[in-house]
Amino acid sequence: MSEMTKKEAYRRIDELRKTLTHHAKLYYVYDSPEISDFEYDRLYAELLKLESENPEYSDPSSPTMRVGGAPLDKFEKVVHSVRMNSLTDVFSFDELREFYDRTDAAAGRLTYSVEPKIDGLSVALRYENGIFVQGATRGDGTTGEDVTMNLRTIGSIPLRLSEPLTLTVRGEVYMPHSSFEAINAEREKHGQALMANPRNAAAGSLRQLDPRIAAERGLDIFIFNLQEGNIYSPESGRVPVSHTETLDRLGELGFKVLEMRKALSDFESIKNHIQYISDMRDSLPYDIDGAVIKVDSLDIRTKLGEGTNTPKWAVAYKYPPECKQTKLTDITVAVGRTGVLTPTAVLSPVRLAGTTVKSATLHNLDYIRERGIMIGDTVSVQKAGDIIPEIVCAHPDKRDGSEREFFMPEICPSCGEPVFREDGEAAVRCTNALCPAQLSRSIEHFCSKNAMNIDGLGPRIIDLLLGQKLISCVADIYTLTADMLEPLDRMGKKSAANLIASIEKSKSAGLERLIYALGIRNVGEVAGAALAARFGTLDTLMNATVDEICGIEDFGLITAECVVNFFSHPQNKELCRRLKALGIKTDSTAEPKGNRFEGLTFVLTGTLPTMSRDEAGEMIKKLGGKVSGSVSKKTSYVVAGEAAGSKLTKANELGITVIDEEALLKMCEE
């Protein structure tokens, strides 16, 4: 290629980059595209080709850099130059009034910016001379994780600003409802567990070690603060005087800034706008969980100052959990892996916390009777922890006489065998150990993430395998081959190979997970780990006595009898023998690291900066500690990450010591 051709190539590359950046901004930031997706893709393909042919013209701010690079081994830690504080929460207008009066008394009549609180994951974006160079999660406020490669895949984040400025901004990464629904539809099609809500999905997507996965998740971001630097060029001599001016200017520079924000002074006007944002909640394409009220003047913010963990110039007004009324059209009964019959409410679809809710568990007949629920009732529904749909109450005043009382069936809806209810128990159980529903659910439990963790073996595939008589118990899973799986509906060669690889990997899960996977009544993850630590091998556990098991701390007679009874059945002994013969690891994988946490109980809540809660829990257990799912007076420490919820609140109420991940790691190293 001649020198002239090289110059032409450079000019065309530069032209394409500017054109694509312009159209990406119109599409992602302003939602007003000027060209079709087809035309954009054509221009993008041309640029990609020219860049590959001319690598010397590589530019990290090119639109082609959004596709994601090679997978990472881990996330590097980033120390924030400006601490990313959280906000003080208020839950009533009376509490908000206290904040309003306090700030006005300290600094005179003030103007406040009132804006929606996006329910996502907070990040900091660093720009040097207008180029996006680093993005990090909030973490504990002081130290976060470097997720630059994943953030590059978000179309609304400018890789190059319209001016060569050096600054850091803070934003909230979220998953739009459309992306969330598309992902869950795809996961359901492949028999995978559905994501709980858009917020958790966004957090999980941003922490993918493979940027290409993050790129597929359809994440978006709103920018809501300038952390450091100036939004104007040094030559101009200008500095922003207000938060409103700052966000307006950041919008001019190419950022997607918060919508529905208003600068208001009067308390009643502030209340009205908070209510307006709440009223708009259902129509928004993303989730919000409150409104943020900030002093607008930057000088007065400095005067008011910062608290230990929260600024004195801002609060977050938290909306109560969404609670909506809908029709309970029917009550169905499902059979679980232990034979328990569980009634489930069939609901007229209603949108709650980012998902469409069509059903809710009713637990048992006592639960239904206590709440006076009838088939055909209008009921109020909310999501516990924004995850699990629950019926709060029925509305008898809205009955028209067509409603009818619900009764538990006398025979199992799956196998037709009689059911029974033990004295003192709320649960109704199927008596048939060979009940097809129990078999399907027990296999599903065996394969679940916290059990043997066989990725890709979800309910749909399990039912297919059972229907084709390829499996009849969990041991049969380990006799499957790719050739047996490929003919199955929507499986194919690659999916079959991936599933076989996942099955093979699960063989090394260890005794802790295997005990839990077996589905022994009253034995959860914590109990499974304790049994593995005490007995070491499956053979030893199978021969354990009630007294020996009762000797384990916090093990009672009922749980001990359940364990002994399970292994007393010949079919269960045979199952364990087969699993061992098929290569499943039946001894403990735990690596004793001392007992410095002996006698201590930890509760994990929120998103931790560098590890999952499961990973943190395993670390605690290896050091002799216990991990509980609920906060009580017996709790020693609560380990709180980002977006810690009700568990953190309860810990503060009870005076339980709250630590972050960094403090936990220091305790582990001592």
Residues annotated catalytic, as ranges: 117
Amino acid at the residue 220: D
Q: Which residue type is seen at 210?
A: D
**Other CB atoms within 10 A of residue 202 CB:** 29
Count of all residues that appear for the chain in the document:
670
CA 346, 347, 351: angle at the middle one, nearest 5?
A: 140
Distance from chain centroid for Cα 81:
27
Structure token pair of residue 83: 């601490």
Q: What CA–CA distance (Å, rounded) separates 133 from 131? A: 6
Q: How many other CB atoms are found less than 10 A from the CB of residue 463? A: 15
DSSP 213: H
Distances (CA, A) of 545 to 510, 567, 639: 22, 11, 36
DSSP H/E element including 616: helix 613-622
Q: Which residues pair with 128 in a beta bridge?
A: 131
**Rounded to the nearest 5 degrees, what angle is found at the Cα of 359, between the Cα atoms of 358 and 360?**
145
Nearest to 255 by CA among 125, 439, 135: 125
- C-alpha–C-alpha distance, residues 483 and 472, integer Å: 18
Whole-number Å distance between alpha carbons of 558 and 536: 22
For the chain, how are helix, strand and coil distributed in percent, rounded to 5?
Answer: 40, 20, 40
Structural contact between residues 100 and 267, judged by C-beta atoms closer than 8 angstroms? yes
Contacts of 248 (CB under 8 A, 6+ apart): 257
CB atoms inside a 10 Å sphere around CB 178: 11
Separation between Cα atoms, residue 222 and residue 307, nearest integer Å: 25
Judge whether 103 and 88 are in contact, CB under 8 Å. no
Amino acid at the residue 479: T
| C-alpha pair distances (Å), 366 with each of 333, 343, 362, 423 | 14, 11, 9, 13
Q: Answer yes or no: are the C-beta atoms of 621 and 595 closer than 8 Å.
A: no
- CA dihedral in degrees (112, 117, 122, 123; nearest 10)? -60
495 close to 570: Cβ distance less than 8 angstroms: no
Give the closest residue to 472 by CA, choosing from 582, 575, 334: 575
Degrees to nearest 5, angle at CA 118 with 114 and 120: 155
